[in-house]
Structure 1
Amino acid sequence: MNTYQRKRRRPVSEINVVPYIDVMLVLLIIFMVTAPLVTQGVKVDLPKAEAQALDEEAKPPLVATVDAQGQYYLNVGDTQDEAMSAVDLATLVATHLQREPETPVVVKGDGAVAYSQVVDLMVLLQRAGAPSVGLMTSPPEN
């Protein structure tokens, strides 16, 4: 007598996550490619000078900008391209430096702006708690 035994298959309760991993990798690559293209800023004509570049491994600096009309900008938050008052700028810088005290602070002043306005911005940053303030320049054209 041959007895035929039929094996019962149990239902598999596993989820195949390989397609989800593929989609996530594609999204990661898309975001890595598009992130540098999304950077925003205020257009200023920086003075030309030879200067040593900031260390690339350091934290990204706080960039306080004064444009040709004397308006202030800061590269923090969602309002990077909106002008702000001196009080708002000082408050934002002080708050950021309390959270991350090692953050370098740099002034980006338009070449056409009066020197006194750049100095006023530097004093404002110093009063907000910046231990030192650097000046941002463009490399000279040869």
Structure 2
Amino acid sequence: MSNKSIQRTSSLKFSRILKRNKTISQINVTPMVDVMLVLLVIFMITAPLLTVGVPINLPKTKAKSLPEDQAPLSVTINKEEKIFVQDTEITIEKLVPKLVSISKNKSDRKIFIRADEVLSYGKVVEVMAVITSAGFNKIALITDFEVKKK
């Protein structure tokens, strides 16, 4: 055997040994991408369903929404004239103590009133009067934004 053939066979053996002992340094990301896409689809389907609250039909308005610096308290009145504070049903007599306990005696806390559009003006004013009698002055009425049609 010649010297070149010995070198060639020895280099082939050496390369086979390296290939056998070489670890795979790449991660197969295809299964991870599949799982992430499935999770993305699940979140895209369930996200619109997460809007929770008392079902009411808000009146439409053309006013713009105001910027928020602190989460306001939400008082909702549905079409059956039931009152809810932060999605918890409450009577009008217990409304003030509930608001005071939630706001920790801070009367500068904003209170948003969400009233169904079929309610009488008197019922909404009655709830507003009870809230202002407790010293809360920052009260806002929530409406749906009316989309302009061209």
Q: What TM-score comes out, normalization by structure 2 length?
A: 0.60
Aligned AA (2:79)? A
Q: How does 1:88-107 map to 2 (within 5 A)?
A: 88-107=94-113
Structure 1, unaligned stretches of length 5 or more? 1-32
How far the C-alpha of 1:106 sits from its partner, in A, is 1.2
Partner of 2:64: 52
Is the strand fraction higher in 1 or 2? 2
Q: For CA contacts below 8 A with separation 6 or more, give which structure has more relative contact order.
A: 1
Q: Quote the Cα distance in structure 1 between the aligned partners of 2:80 and 2:95.
A: 16
CA radius of gyration, larger in: 2
Q: Does the residue aligned with 1:83 lie in a helix, a strand or coil?
A: strand
Q: Which structure's residues are more often helix, by fraction?
A: 2
> For 1:26-51, what per-residue CA distance to the aligned partner results, in whole angstroms no more than 9, with x for missing partners?
xxxxxxx8999755210110000122
Q: Which amino acid aligns with 1:103?
A: R
Identity of aligned residues (%): 25
TM-score, normalised to structure 1, is 0.63
Quote the Cα distance in structure 1 between the aligned partners of 2:74 and 2:89: 13
Q: 1:52 to 1:135 in 2, by over 3 A?
A: same
- Which ranges of structure 2 fall in alignment gaps of 5 or more residues? 1-42
Total equivalences in the alignment: 104
Equivalent residues of 2:61, 2:146 under 8 A apart: yes
Q: Give the corresponding residue for 1:23.
A: none
Superposed, 1:1-142 pairs within 5 Å as 38=50, 40-56=52-68, 58-75=69-86, 80=87, 82-142=88-148
The alignment yields a C-alpha RMSD, in angstroms, of: 2.4
Deviations 1:106-126 (A, max 9, x none): 111100111100101101111
* Contact 2:108-2:137 within 8 A present in 1 as well: no
